[in-house]
A = this chain, B = another copy of it.
Amino acid sequence: MYKILNNDLIREYVDSTPEIRNLLLGSDDSIDKIEVSEIGDGNLNFVYIIKGLKKSIILKQAVPFLRCVGEEYPLSRVRMTFEIEALKTEKEICPDFVPQIYYSSHDMSLVVMQNLDSHKILRGEMINREVFPLLSEHISTFLADTLFYTSDFYLSSAQKKEDVKKFINIELCKITEDFIFTHPYEENDTNEYNPELDMSVVKNFRQNRDVKTAVAKMRYKFMSEAQALLHGDLHTGSIMLNKKETYVIDPEFAFYGPIGFDVGIYLANLVMSYFSLKKDENEYRDYVREMIKDTWDMFASKFKANMIEHEKNTKSLQWDYPQGMEHFEHFVDIFIDGIFSDSIGFMACEMFRRTVGLAKVADVAGIKDLKRRAKIEKNILECASKLITSKYENIDEIIKEIQEYDR
């Protein structure tokens, strides 16, 4: 039943799938009235824009290999099933921040969704020094809500375990385990380096006991802590936005993992964007620092508010005594401290891997002056080494540390 679509086959497919056809065309309109174009800048999948007379939509299809490499790198198309299921779960929790899904087919490994044509990818926008006054408010809500409402703190014990089972995402977790937590810390052929990067800096963290131990710990957390349904790949390329709206896309890496992973990956991408700025870009530097601070602080306070509100609604017997709510709040504070330290650990791993691993960030890797880029990369690697081997109390200390290493 599955077949790989192309521009022509998409016409046939749309014509024979009323759920899609009716979105695009009136019942009397010919299928010739739709326009299909592939935008395919994705690493994994094929993405098409289909313009009809009534609206335009996105059709995203997974193929049984890694799109950016080709058929020699097989990757099961079941990843689309995880993407579809994660989109549905996230949409239910955060309707404002997840694109509308019009149709999905597990058999065809495709999803048809809202075309975000007045929105752009956050990473590119940050490279263009665009400012989004609502972004931190939105993304902190997305994080606090998706991560709370899929956790053991909200779901029934049985439902959460069913969801853990449903989201066992073997292949895509393995990609993360390899490319975020393993290859960058060893002399692996998949790594790629700026030729101007001082390799002694790389050797320094690769042979540093405390860095290696801390990375191994974060890797193990990623593999074993089933806390909440993560997006799993929440970098600034997975966010589309304009001044008013923010959408989180591409959750094919979704699985039950440690809450700090989503938070840390996102923060790391802000931090690397910060390191990429020139010394005289004062306004944008202030803005990115503020984003880092606001994202964490708003996430923490919203997650806490979710916990407290839920406890007030359910009034569990275990906290039902005069100081019970106060004690519960103390537990929440300690739990959030744990998410904070996990987030910083995962943040550091993302900083390492985006600098010496296979996948780079355009904010830094797009810098044409390779010597300047190398200097920034050195700062990022040394900062990541410091962050992952130290203890911090709050986000202000992290920001101070980043400024320290922004030499």
Contacts and interface: CB of A to CB of B under 8 A. Distances in A.
A174 B159 CA distance: 11
Residue of A217, A320, A327 with most partner-chain B CB within 10 A: A327
B209 A323 contact: yes
Nearest to A326: B209
A168 B164 contact: yes
A152 interface: yes
Given A168-B165, A213-B327, A216-B331, A223 B318 contact: no
B186 A157 contact: no
Interface string A324-366: 1011101100110000000000000000000000000000000
Contacts of A331: 212-213, 216-217
B217 A334 contact: yes
Interface residues of A, number: 47
A302 interface: no
A170 B174 contact: no
Interface in A132-168: 152, 157-158, 160-162, 164-165, 168
Contacts of A161: 168, 170, 173
Query: How many copies of this chain sit in the oligomeric assembly?
Result: 2
A304 to B, nearest CB: 15
Secondary structure at the A interface, as helix, strand, loop or mixed, is: helix
A321 interface: yes
Interface stretch (A224-232, A287-295, A390-398): A224-232
Contacts of A207: 321-324, 327
27 contacts: A152-B224, A157-B173, A157-B177, A160-B223, A161-B168, A162-B168, A165-B168, A182-B318, A185-B318, A186-B316, A186-B317, A187-B320, A188-B317, A206-B321, A207-B321, A207-B324, A207-B327, A209-B330, A212-B319, A212-B331, A213-B327, A213-B330, A216-B318, A216-B331, A217-B334, A224-B227, A225-B226
Question: Across chains A and B, which 4 residue pairs bring their CB atoms closest together, nearest first?
Answer: A186-B317, A186-B318, A209-B327, A213-B331
